[in-house]
Amino acid sequence: MSLDTVDIAGTTPERVQPFAELGLKPDEYQRIREILGRRPTSSELAMYSVMWSEHCSYKSSKVHLRQFGDKAPKSEALLVGIGENAGVVDVGQGYAVTFKIESHNHPSFVEPYQGAATGVGGIVRDILTMGARPIAVMDPLRFGAADAPDTRRVLTGIVAGIGGYGNCLGLPNIGGEVVFDETYAGNPLVNALCVGVMRHDQIKLAKASGAGNLVVLFGAKTGGDGIGGVSVLASETFGAGGSTKRPSVQVGDPFTEKVLIECSLEIFAEDLVVGIQDLGGAGLSCATSELASAGTGGMRVALDDVPLRDPSLSPEEILMSESQERMCAIVEPSKIARFLEICKKWDVTATVIGEVTDGVRLVITWHGQTIVDVPPRTVAHEGPVYSRPFSKPDYVDRVNAEKLTIPMPKTAAEVRSAVLQLMSSPNMADKSWVTSQYDKYVQGNTIQSQPEDSGMVRIDETTQLGIAISTDANAPWSYLNPYEGAKLALAEAARNIATAGAKPLAVTNCLNFGSPEDPGVMWQFAETVRGLADGCLEMGLPVTGGNVSFYNQTGDVAILPTPVIGVLGVIQDVRTRTPMAFDRPGLDLYLLGETRNDLAGSEWAYMHHQRGGIAPQSDLQHEMRLIDALLEGQSIFEAAHDLSQGGLAASLSEMALRHNIGATVLLEGEIAVELLSETPGRVVVAIDKGDAHALQSIAQKYDIAITKIGVTGGTTLSINDAEIALDDLRSAFVDTIPRLFG
């Protein structure tokens, strides 16, 4: 078949094109024809198909995501907000920090190792393109039932991919989650977060400006892997028999990316680029159209100048390829020699493939013939926007009305058994088998990582300035009430920052849901966004960016609504951070916050196969006062640990096992509720006996309920009349995951 050029497209309007196979709806295809005034060429069709996919265009979510801008709180710390590759915040002392979380869910089910590995690589490049040095990663993960046959394949591959890529890059993995639920079978969630640091004057943006400036592609050569990859795969629901579309998953090379990072940072240091964009989802289609769309003119690209690993690739395949470790820069002609010199020094392939023009079109040629001639904004920023119908699904009222019939421990023997059963469950059990495969301490600036409430890294070795990050989601609560679930996840992530002594500053998010074509799923999403926007406004925390992942669904079974919320905070001196666990006997233990009968959506309820009831109601004013109290009391806290999944039983167990120091705890009220309830807004703190008055004063100042619950010491965790030997507790805690996956 002859090359499909613009001229040919204009004279053969009747040619049948495979738009449906590329994921475009008939009305979307018709709109493309109206934009161009003709049928698209095959290359143009390829570009529009990947750029108008759900993953790249946010066509089902845009109308809701606008709330993050409409309700944005005033923030002096925010330097770059939504719309760039990642948000940037001011953390003081002239430093800026950029962070973002994205998903690589569907590729990680098809090919777990490479799907997860390239998910890490992609988010790292997003941070790099802002001009920052990446300094740490995190990975919140969700899997199907822990004992399900396919979970072993998926989990072991994903964990190996995250560790293999991140470790080779030399980036510490400082946090995340591993959660199991049967709804994630066939739809694992691999959400990857990266954080980077730079000076204020080093921030870079994704735009192509200045007619005559050169378009330079540098990094790995373009291959046939990932053609249509995440951009198409992440926009489709998996059928009962697997993926309805299985394009090649991207293949990563962390050593190439490591060199690309160092090369890019040297280029940035010499101020050699006008704009820069990484090649992730939608590859060259995305990079060229977004750079041109955000710039001041047009762009002309010679596609046959793109360095290829596979010379047999067609123009359409080159445009759609999602080969990893590639960047696209806009460089002034006067600086191109130095740019190429630095690339040669690092043995990074760099090729001039085009230039910025004073026109308004993105023009791409192939051996001298024009195969793309489009208005770039129509590709990158003016795709379809759907106000999809949404309605409250029938299940909500039904499950909210359900009465929990969970067995509640009463006797000492029952309490002991319940704690051991809880801590040996896959969701609560020790995840060291997973996290030991990640390098936590490379670069030498990790202050804390898993299993602490948040990850923390030092960013200035002289002043000891540092940042803390936490990612959290409680999908069972979001299932019961997505509006409250989002606010509760936000509160928990912020609280986990504050327990370490860091002040929350900003938010990123990865919103994971089923099919947006299901009105019930769309209602979950709309309520989640509304809740998160309202919560961020109330807490004064701006949303800096994030990701939406739809179509996490097998047949008509969607995952639980899972909004993963990341909160970044700043700590002036990392040496003053508050650890999670007490490290000596003789300390007094206090519970900050009130405990209510909040078992709906709890781990104890899930263990007993119950998912009904009413989710807890958020109280963000209380959360903000608690955060202030934690920050003010930092100097007297020997340890502070958030209460969340598993309630007080889990928090006490984790604190005791960390340094093998027991505790004697006396609880009033119904012991099962005190131990297993997951009421939000609570923290256990350990202090010296002499600091009791100071703690009482802080609690009174911020109107926080406070209860002395025990003292540290011994070789058992004693709760009222129940005694649990730490050796028995440790065995229950550490044996589960290696038994399942080791």
CB 538 within 8 A of CB 620: yes
Q: Label residue 366 left, alpha or beta by phi (over 0 means left) and psi (-120 to 50 means alpha).
A: beta
Question: How confident is the model at residue 250, as a pLDDT?
Answer: 83
Average pLDDT over residues 68-86: 91
Question: How confident is the model at residue 233, as a pLDDT?
Answer: 44
Question: How confident is the model at residue 208, as a pLDDT?
Answer: 83
**Whole-prediction pTM:** 0.94
Average pLDDT over residues 694-721: 98
Q: Which of 64, 104, 106, 641 is catalytic?
A: 104
Per-residue pLDDT at 248 exceeds 80 = no
Per-residue pLDDT at 384 exceeds 50 = yes
Question: How confident is the model at residue 2, as a pLDDT?
Answer: 66
With a pLDDT cut of 70, the percent of the chain lying above it is: 97
The mean predicted confidence, pLDDT, of the chain is 94
Classify 448 as helix, strand or coil.
strand
Q: Does domain 57-380 have CATH number 3.90.650.10?
A: yes
The strand pair at 588-592 and 706-712 is best described as antiparallel
Q: Which position has the token pair 């030991």?
A: 436
> Is 200 a catalytic site residue?
no
Q: Using only C-alpha atoms, what is the Rg of the chain?
A: 26
CA distance 20 to 378: 19
CA distance 473 to 471: 7
Q: Which of 55, 64, 106, 641 is catalytic?
A: 55
Average pLDDT over residues 388-393: 97
CA distance 445 to 679: 34
**DSSP character string of 595-613:** -----TT-HHHHHTT---S
Question: How confident is the model at residue 240, as a pLDDT?
Answer: 38
> Is 104 a catalytic site residue?
yes
For the stretch 285-343, pLDDT in tens is 999 999 999 888 899 999 999 999 999 999 999 999 999 999 999 999 999 999 999 99
Strand blocks (E) in 93-247 = 95-103, 133-143, 173-180, 189-199, 214-219
For the stretch 558-598, pLDDT in tens is 999 999 999 999 999 999 999 999 999 999 999 999 999 99
CB 500 within 8 A of CB 447: no
For the stretch 459-498, pLDDT in tens is 999 999 999 999 999 999 999 999 999 999 999 999 999 9
CB 189 within 8 A of CB 180: no
Query: 432-462 in b/e burial notation, b at 16+ Cβ within 10 A?
Result: ebbbebbbbebeebbbbbbebbbbbbbbbee
Q: Which residues contact 606 (CB under 8 A, 6 or more apart)?
A: 181, 427, 476
CA distance 728 to 688: 28
What burial class does residue 178 get, using C-beta atoms within 10 Å of its C-beta: 0-12 exposed, 13-18 middle, 19+ buried?
Answer: buried
Question: How confident is the model at residue 11, as a pLDDT?
Answer: 94
CB 56 within 8 A of CB 70: no
For the stretch 534-562, pLDDT in tens is 999 999 999 999 999 999 998 889 999 99
Average pLDDT over residues 183-195: 96
